[in-house]
Structure 1
Amino acid sequence: MDYHIWLAYVVTAIVFSLAPGSGTVNSISNGINYGTRKSLMAIAGLQLGLLFHIVLVGAGIGAIVAKSAMAFTVIKWVGAFYLVWLGIQKWRDRSALTTQIEDKPLSAFSMLKTACFINLTNPKSIVFLVALFPQFIDPKGDQANQLLILGATTIIIDGMVMLGYTSLAAQMGRFIRSQKAMTRINKLFGSMFVGCAALLATAKA
């Protein structure tokens, strides 16, 4: 994989991970309730769920590339339009994150299992990865190697971002959860999604 393409993916993956979602809610909730150290297993669980989605998406994209270059191109453009649509939805989203304050502590395994299930049952992750991966894959290159690089990069970045959310929430969770703060965050990432889509579409034109 070309170094510049990988760097572009890193930036896009950071936006993907930073954008508030169910994984963010879980990380903030755990940070508030249990602190950073006790929440590490939950972060690992989120990545296990994400890994499952990456494997599914990677296998599907690989099969499509092998069968039809035209279908792959169509997926690329549909993905770019989806990023624009997602950006608009984020810009309009004025909801605040809602986290639950737990009275009873959970075991490390329970936190891992719960977090893994959260990502496994989040269809938005699969749709986003389907839209994202084709933008950075060269259909003439080694598919397995490219998907391995993209998948590993996604998991590492998302794990670091979730760790950051957890640590931040342990210190100042009440500010993160405010509606005013979340409205600003959603507008920021909505603009970033649209920007990523525009850059990707221009690069592939």
Structure 2
Amino acid sequence: MTLTIWLTFLVAALFISLSPGAGAVNSMSSGLRYGVRKSLPTIAGQQFGYGAQIVLVGAGLGAIVASSTTALMVIKWIGVAYLVWLGIQKWREPPVEASRGDLAGFSKRQQFWNGALVNLTNPKATIFLIALFPQFLVADAPHGPQLATMGATLILVDILVMVGYAVLASQLFRFMTTPRRQKQMNRVFGTLFVTAAAALATFKRA
């Protein structure tokens, strides 16, 4: 992969991560509630899910999943149900103390797997990667190193963008000092999760 091709891919990866989606909503929701540092398990989980998708496609299994209507539908509706569940949980989430020193219910493991499931149950990522990778692969060069480079680029860019989303959301915390405002914000994020679920539910392969 030449530098020019990689730079083009880098720009594409940046736009992909910046585009609003379930991952961005999840990162912002976590950043608002827990702050940036305690949101890192959520972001790490999302990258685990994203990385699994990349490995799946790179190994050729993504094509099998993408070609199987049943497999794709099962993954799709699991993802829809999970996002709806996250939205309901966020809608019902009680306000927290104005200080982030001790947030009840904080679990690094739970946040990690919540983040992982958001990306693992998103079949659009599989379809997208199958469509994206061939556009940048050099046919007469070994594919393994190229796929590894693209996968690492996607994950590193997504980490930076998701941390940025968490930072942006965490800055809102100082305005969320009253239970009423926190409840309103929880309902906004809950609605966004359900909206993401609706978008996933309407996803159809070309």
Structure 1 and Structure 2 fold alike (TM over 0.5)? yes
**Using the alignment, how far apart are the partners of 2:133 and 2:12 within structure 1?**
10
Query: In the alignment, which residue of structure 1 is the partner of 2:157?
Result: 157
**Using the alignment, how far apart are the partners of 2:106 and 2:137 within structure 1?**
41
**Using the alignment, how far apart are the partners of 1:125 and 1:62 within structure 2?**
10
Identity value in percent: 47
**Using the alignment, how far apart are the partners of 1:157 and 1:48 within structure 2?**
14
Query: In the alignment, which residue of structure 1 is the partner of 2:142?
Result: 142
TM-score by length of 1: 0.64
What aligned pairs does 1:1-205 form with structure 2 within 5 A after superposition? 1-60=1-60, 100=90, 102-103=93-94, 104-172=104-172
Secondary structure of the structure 1 residue equivalent to 2:139? coil
**Using the alignment, how far apart are the partners of 2:5 and 2:119 within structure 1?**
27
Secondary structure of the structure 2 residue equivalent to 1:100? helix
Query: In the alignment, which residue of structure 1 is the partner of 2:80?
Result: none
Query: In the alignment, which residue of structure 1 is the partner of 2:74?
Result: none
Mapped contact 2:26–2:115 kept (Cα < 8 A): yes
Query: In the alignment, which residue of structure 1 is the partner of 2:178?
Result: none
Shift of 1:52: 0.3
**Using the alignment, how far apart are the partners of 1:59 and 1:140 within structure 2?**
18
User: Which amino acid in the other structure matches residue 153 of structure 1?
Assistant: T
Mapped contact 1:62–1:143 kept (Cα < 8 A): no
Secondary structure of the structure 1 residue equivalent to 2:132? helix
Mapped contact 2:42–2:111 kept (Cα < 8 A): yes
**Using the alignment, how far apart are the partners of 2:63 and 2:127 within structure 1?**
17
Unaligned 5+ segments in structure 2 are: 65-86, 95-103, 176-184, 193-206
**Using the alignment, how far apart are the partners of 2:36 and 2:14 within structure 1?**
20
Mapped contact 1:61–1:134 kept (Cα < 8 A): no
Shift of 1:47: 0.2
Shift of 1:59: 1.5
Unaligned 5+ segments in structure 1 are: 65-97, 183-205
User: Which amino acid in the other structure matches residue 90 of structure 2?
Assistant: Q
Shift of 1:62: 10
Mapped contact 2:62–2:126 kept (Cα < 8 A): no
User: Which amino acid in the other structure matches residue 28 of structure 1?
Assistant: M
TM-score by length of 2: 0.64
Cα 1:62/1:122, change in 2 over 3 Å? closer
**Using the alignment, how far apart are the partners of 2:109 and 2:154 within structure 1?**
23
Shift of 1:17: 0.5
**Using the alignment, how far apart are the partners of 1:62 and 1:146 within structure 2?**
17
Mapped contact 1:28–1:169 kept (Cα < 8 A): yes
User: Which amino acid in the other structure matches residue 24 of structure 2?
Assistant: T
Mapped contact 1:49–1:116 kept (Cα < 8 A): yes
Shift of 1:105: 2.8
Shift of 1:172: 3.2
Secondary structure of the structure 1 residue equivalent to 2:90? coil
